[in-house]
Amino acid sequence: MDTIALGPLVLSGERFAILAGVFVFLTGTGLLASRVGPRFNLWSTVVVFGGLAAARLAHVIVHWSHFREEPLRALAVWQGGFSWFWALPVVAISLIFLLRTSRERVWAIAPLAAAVLAWTAAHHLTSAPNPLPPPPLTLAGLNGSPVDLAATDGRPTVINLWATWCAPCRREMPALAQAERAHPEVRFLLINQGEDEAKVRDYLEREALAFDHMLLDPAMATQRHYRTVGIPVTLFLHADGRLARAHTGEIAPERIAAEIARLTPRP
C-alpha cells in the first residue's frame, strides 16, 4: 500500500514524497547558506512556502467547481491537491531577485535537482499500489443483505474504510455521499472498521447520511487484506475487482472525481 508509518504518524505516499523533497531541499540550502552565502536561507524559505502556495492556488482555481461552495477548504492542504508546475515561476523569480550572483544561482541548481530526485524516487517507491484482487469476504450490510466483496457487478468500485471516532472520516463522508449520487456507474462500499451496528446506525441518522452499501467489518479484515495502516483509506477498484489506486487520509471531492474518471474513461 502507499502508506508510510513513522511511529504514530501515518503518511500517504504522496505526502511522504513531498516531505522527502522539502527535507532534502532545506538540508541542501542550509549547507549552502553556511558555506556559500546567507542569502540561501531566505531563498529556500520563499521557494518552499511560495511554491506550495502557488501550487495550491493553481489547484483550487482549476478545480473551482469543487471549492465554490466551500472556499475555505482551499486551506485544507492536508487533503492534498497541488499543481506543481505553477511552483516553477516562484523558483525562477526568487532565483533572479533573491540570489544576486551567478555563482549563487549555479549553486542553487544542486538542492533543486536533489529535491526533485528525492520527490520522484519516494513517489515511485510508495505510490504504486499492488493490483490486489478483491478480498474473499462477505460482510453484513446495514441497509440490507450481506455483500460478497469478491463478487463484482460489472462496475468499478470505490471502497472507503472508516469509523465514527475518526475525525477525517467524518469530514469526508458528505463528499463520498455526493459522489455516490453523482456516479451511479460506480459502486460505493462504505466499510466501517471495528464498530457495532448500533453505533454506526446512530451516527448516520444523526448526520442524515445515507449510502446504498454501508457494511460492517468488526474484525477489520478488509484492512488486513489491503495491508492498510490507519483510516480513512479510500480504495479505487477496476470493474474486475483489482485494486487500481489507494488514497490514505482525508480525501477531497476533486480527488474522488479524478480517480473515478480514471476508472471510467470516456469513449
Give the domain extent around 179: 138-263
For the chain, what is the domain count?
A: 2
- The pLDDT value given to residue 118: 93
Q: Look up the pTM and report it.
A: 0.83
Domain endpoint, select from 126, 151, 177: 126
- The pLDDT value given to residue 57: 96
Task: Examine the domain organization and report whether 56 and 165 are in the same domain.
Answer: no
Q: Round to whole Å and give the CA distance between 58 and 68.
A: 14
Domain endpoint, select from 126, 149, 178: 126
Determine, yes or no, domain membership for 192.
yes
- The pLDDT value given to residue 179: 95
Task: Examine the domain organization and report whether 145 and 122 are in the same domain.
Answer: no
Strands 233-237 and 243-248: antiparallel
User: pLDDT in tens for each of the 267 residues of the chain?
Assistant: 566 666 556 667 778 888 899 999 999 999 999 999 999 999 999 999 999 999 999 999 999 998 988 899 999 888 888 999 999 999 999 999 999 899 999 999 999 999 999 988 887 776 666 788 888 999 999 877 899 999 888 899 999 999 999 999 999 999 999 999 999 999 999 999 999 999 999 999 999 999 999 999 999 999 999 988 889 999 999 999 999 988 888 999 999 999 999 887 665
Task: Examine the domain organization and report whether 23 and 120 are in the same domain.
Answer: yes
Determine, yes or no, domain membership for 133.
no
Task: Examine the domain organization and report whether 151 and 251 are in the same domain.
Answer: yes
Domain endpoint, select from 65, 98, 126: 126
Task: Examine the domain organization and report whether 85 and 162 are in the same domain.
Answer: no
- The pLDDT value given to residue 129: 65
Task: Examine the domain organization and report whether 120 and 7 are in the same domain.
Answer: yes
